[in-house]
Amino acid sequence: MKRTLFIFCLLIFFLTSSSAQKDYKVVFDLTSKDTLDHKAVLRWTGEVAKASEDAQLEVVMYGQGVHMMVNGKSVVQDAIAKLMTNKNVSFKVCAVALKAQGIDESQLIPGTLIVADGIYEIISKQKEGWGYIKAVH
């Protein structure tokens, strides 16, 4: 009886552990122009991507955060390019914020995705069960 109970508990543990890894989805919220925040969100994204190959990660920028994705001006452009090679990592900027900041789509790092509304993108991910992290240092 004890052996059966032990095997059952072990099976439950492995099933819950493996399902938790499959549901590793995080949306990062970046609104800051501060390059320390840019470096922090990229560090966190990279660490999660390395720790769990199946993790789905999305960095959503609105407000002044869209400056992180300006081609040739971003201090973290090399790190972004490296993370963009991972099919489970995406970088999305808010169209409203781009207009407010006077940034044209053509100025963005290639591979940057544009969403109509950054806040709505984040809320939608949360409704789908994604974890939420506000990127600040």
Distance CA 59, CA 66 (A): 11
Instruction: Give tens-digit pLDDT for 44-102.
Output: 999 999 999 999 999 999 999 999 999 999 999 999 999 999 999 999 999 999 999 99
pLDDT-based confidence at residue 131 (cuts at 50, 70, 90):
very high
Calculated CA dihedral for residues 89, 53, 20, 40, nearest 10 degrees? -50
**Among positive and negative, which fits the CA dihedral 40, 17, 54, 124?**
negative
- Domains of the chain and CATH, by start: 24-134 (3.40.1260.10)
Q: What is the pTM of this model?
A: 0.83
**Contact partners, residue 128, CB within 8 Å, separation at least 6:** 25
Residue type for 22, please?
K
Residue appearing with tokens 């999660």: 48
Which position has the higher pLDDT, 117 or 8?
117
User: What pLDDT does 4 receive?
Assistant: 44
Which pairing describes strands 56-61 and 131-134: parallel, antiparallel, or unpaired?
Answer: unpaired
pLDDT-based confidence at residue 1 (cuts at 50, 70, 90):
low
pLDDT-based confidence at residue 16 (cuts at 50, 70, 90):
low
pLDDT exceeding 90 applies to what percent of the chain? 82
* 89-94: strand order across its sheet: 113-115, 89-94, 56-61, 25-30, 131-134
Q: What is the distance in angstroms between the CA of the first residue and the CA of the last residue of the chain? A: 52
pLDDT at 112 over 60: yes
